[in-house]
Structure 1
Amino acid sequence: MAGVLSAEQVRVETFTGLRLTQFSRLLKTVRERGGNGTMQGRPWSLPLAERVLLVAVYYRTNLTMRQLGPLFGISSSTVCRVIQRLRPLLAIEPASRPADAADRLWIVDGTLVPVRDRTVGASSRNYRFSANVQVIVDADTRLVIAAARPASGTTADAHAWRASSLAEHCHDVTVLGDGAYLICGMVVPHRKRPRRPLLAGEKADDAAHRTVRARVEHVIGYMKNYKILRDCRQRGDGLHHAVQAVAHMHNLALTS
């Protein structure tokens, strides 16, 4: 395995956005989750390292399966089977309640991801058929804490938040959100009301709030360097698995 990874260092770093040590940690996680387990039928034509690399390259570049096949010396149908088999195993680890929850600050925001599956997305405000994905980020470390299952692109952020299970991760943690998350138990900006201008202190609070909340937008922007989140052709749970895997790889890139 080490020989395979050493020989593929340039390809790993160029096509996945991960350094070799980071990719090794991803590979270890997939192996521990049973990625190398036996299956009925013929054995895989590629070792596990190559298969994990294939999935990471797919998420990073969004190449079609016909394009990926020649790169790895396999058929497009085998590429499809590899992705279907491994994509759940690349998911981000479920977040546990931090010991210093009272001192932590998390930020939540939703983003629209263009999709092809009409059962997942809807024609939304970005003028594309999209899904709404809610993401929680740690304000200090920029690590992704959790990401919800995609909702329809026409779903308001507050409704998508309430319908998700993300609130379960946020007990005793201060969570920041924008004005779309009113009455969701978060710290949100002060609202402008008719004939009542904001006070100077409220304006200062909102300015500080925007400065901190911008961090979640930066993280989402980094996640969208993985082009699968710019135009997801996967159907069913494909987008959900892609978001979870991209969040995992983003966290590896920050912590390794």
Structure 2
Amino acid sequence: MRRRSLSPDHVGVVGNGARAAIISDRRITGLSALVIAELVAEVGPLWHERHQAKLDSRPRQRAVGAGAKHRLVFIDRLLATLVHLRHGATHDVLACWFGVDRSTITRAIGEVRPLLAARGCTIAVGIRLRTLVEVIDHLGASGQTGIIDGTEIRVRRPAAGRRDREKFISGKNKQNAVKAMVLTDARGRLLFCSPAQPASCADITHARQLGLVKQLIGSPVAVEILADAGYQGLGAQTGGRVVTPPHRKFKKNPPDWYEEIYERQRKAHSSRRIRVEHGIAHLKNWRSLARYHGRREHMSDTIQAVAGMLSHQQTATRGARQPQ
């Protein structure tokens, strides 16, 4: 049976009406129209610059700019990436939605996602935090308390025969996952999200590898960081700057008076650091971080891109709520 060829009107990319509907409904992308407009203005020139440099670097038989034009303009590439990250939509579905080939969507997401990941976390208009050093300096300068916690994201099991196959098995959940360290302020605003590590890495080991101990010791201003029991031991290494729940002194048959004091201290500490759990919950609202089905080498870019956009939206929302 002969396949019916579609007319250019049917094959073309998403129309202006559909594009406006995507942008106007925050449920589709997770971002407001204002934040999307700022992303287009910021990331668009970077994408065009990289694309032009890529064209200039290859040997050519005709001038740059000749030949077929892009059928998927940058704003559509950005929207496809946002929908993919927000809802975990497959590339096939997005290709049907935007009226292009699947490989075009794959290439578009692969180009836009690293640009979003490199933006860092927004704390104010024009102010971004990209590294742990900048986060510690910001907390010290503003006198705020930071909260850290590790979060695990399930991934596909590595292929049989890989030497590092067991590295992705989480000791806590007994599932294949990757781990990232999230740092928020006392209000739960995202300040930093680390690259992903195999889930077999302990939380405290991951924090040391990221240089948290060195940064806290080297900071000229005392910075308080709240953490859970998985980071016990960092307090002694940082001179008490990392605050963890109290150790249990009586492991067997504790007196009633001690158990009451211990529970009160533990709950008081938990209530102070609960905001980081809220921050992680907002991250997991993005379907790509609830359970990741893509390639594991893209996981770091994915989680840092989502963290950057979420912090940008949080900053924009707080700014809109403040009285003029």
What SS is found at the alignment partner of 2:291? coil
Q: Distance in 2 between matches of 1:183 and 1:155?
A: 16
Q: Distance in 2 between matches of 1:165 and 1:81?
A: 34
Deviation string 1:50-102 (CA, Å, 9 cap, x unpaired) is 11111111000111111110111111111110111111110242153227536
Q: 1:36 aligned to 2:48?
A: yes
What amino acid sits opposite 1:182 in the alignment?
Answer: Q
Per mean C-alpha deviation after superposition, the further-off stretch among 76-85 and 121-130 is 121-130
Tell whether the 8 Å contact from 1:116 to 1:129 is kept in structure 2 after alignment. yes
How far off its partner does 1:42 sit? 5.5
Q: Distance in 2 between matches of 1:79 and 1:236?
A: 18
Pairs within 5 Å for 1:9-24:
9-12=20-23, 13-24=26-37
Per mean C-alpha deviation after superposition, the further-off stretch among 92-101 and 13-22 is 92-101
What amino acid sits opposite 2:231 in the alignment?
Answer: Y
Q: Distance in 2 between matches of 1:25 and 1:110?
A: 30
Pairs within 5 Å for 1:1-256:
8-12=19-23, 13-32=26-45, 34-37=46-49, 38=52, 39-40=54-55, 43-91=69-117, 92-93=119-120, 94-95=130-131, 96=134, 97-98=137-138, 100-101=140-141, 103-116=143-156, 118=158, 122-124=168-170, 125-140=172-187, 142-166=188-212, 171=219, 172-184=222-234, 185=238, 186-194=242-250, 198=258, 203-256=263-316
Per mean C-alpha deviation after superposition, the further-off stretch among 152-161 and 6-15 is 6-15
Q: Distance in 1 between matches of 2:153 and 2:274?
A: 19
Tell whether the 8 Å contact from 1:224 to 1:230 is kept in structure 2 after alignment. yes
What is the TM-score with the length of structure 1 in the denominator?
0.87
Tell whether the 8 Å contact from 2:139 to 2:146 is kept in structure 1 after alignment. no
What SS is found at the alignment partner of 1:146? strand
Q: 1:61 to 1:201 in 2, by over 3 A?
A: same
What amino acid sits opposite 1:15 in the alignment?
Answer: I
Q: Distance in 2 between matches of 1:18 and 1:134?
A: 23
Q: Distance in 2 between matches of 1:219 and 1:78?
A: 33
Tell whether the 8 Å contact from 2:139 to 2:145 is kept in structure 1 after alignment. no
Tell whether the 8 Å contact from 1:149 to 1:164 is kept in structure 2 after alignment. no
How far off its partner does 1:48 sit? 1.4
CA RMSD of aligned residues (A): 2.6
Q: 1:74 to 1:163 in 2, by over 3 A?
A: same
How far off its partner does 1:44 sit? 3.1
Percent identity for Structure 1 against Structure 2: 26
Q: 1:44 to 1:207 in 2, by over 3 A?
A: same
Per mean C-alpha deviation after superposition, the further-off stretch among 145-154 and 57-66 is 145-154
What SS is found at the alignment partner of 2:243? coil
Tell me, which stretches of 5 or more residues in structure 1 are unaligned? none
Larger radius of gyration between Structure 1 and Structure 2: 2
Q: 1:181 to 1:20 in 2, by over 3 A?
A: same
What SS is found at the alignment partner of 2:113? helix
Q: Distance in 2 between matches of 1:214 and 1:30?
A: 33
How far off its partner does 1:224 sit? 0.7
Tell me, which stretches of 5 or more residues in structure 2 are unaligned? 1-14, 56-66, 121-129, 159-163, 317-324
Higher relative helix content? 2
